[in-house]
Amino acid sequence: PDADILRKYLSKNYPNGDYHSAYEAGFCGFSPHRELIIQGINNIVINPADVPSTDKERKQKEDKRDSRKIARSLYNNELAAIYVPDMEIEGLRSLVRYRKTLVKEINRYKNRTKSLLYYYGIRICKW
């Protein structure tokens, strides 16, 4: 969701409110957190495993149910925020992850090439 649209909705329907939100860390990273903070919404990013849930809730995953569970836990002050790195640190982390991916890919290509050469009887000398 767009943080600006959310803030406008909240301001219109709940003027002068103290807004709090939480979302589970995942594929979207920390940019939604930063956008919500800029819009004046107190937000925390949480570890999905830390959300209190019943056995039934764990078996029946559903966005609507999950959001209610997070809202209830936020209201009851049962959630702990995870560390949100600043943009520079997040960028460095991404760079390191990308480098690891490239190194794995390079090794895969080297191994494929060696296997293909070996298949055709071509031996590569080791320097």
Q: pLDDT, tens digit, for every residue of 7-65?
A: 999 999 999 999 999 999 998 889 999 999 999 999 999 998 888 777 776 677 778 88
Neighbouring C-beta atoms of residue 53, cutoff 10 Å: 16
pLDDT greater than 70 at residue 86: yes
Structure-model confidence comparison of residues 56 and 119, the more confident one: 119
pLDDT at 125 over 90: no
Number of helices and strands (H, E) in the chain? 5, 2
Q: Binning pLDDT at 50, 70 and 90, where does residue 1 land?
A: low
Q: What is the Cα 71 distance to its own chain's centre? A: 18
Q: What percent of the chain has pLDDT over 70?
A: 95
- Angle 76-78-81 from CA coordinates, rounded to 5°: 125
Closest alpha carbon to 32 in 15, 18, 51, 46: 46
Residue 114: what pLDDT?
A: 93
66: confidence class by pLDDT, cuts 50, 70, 90: confident
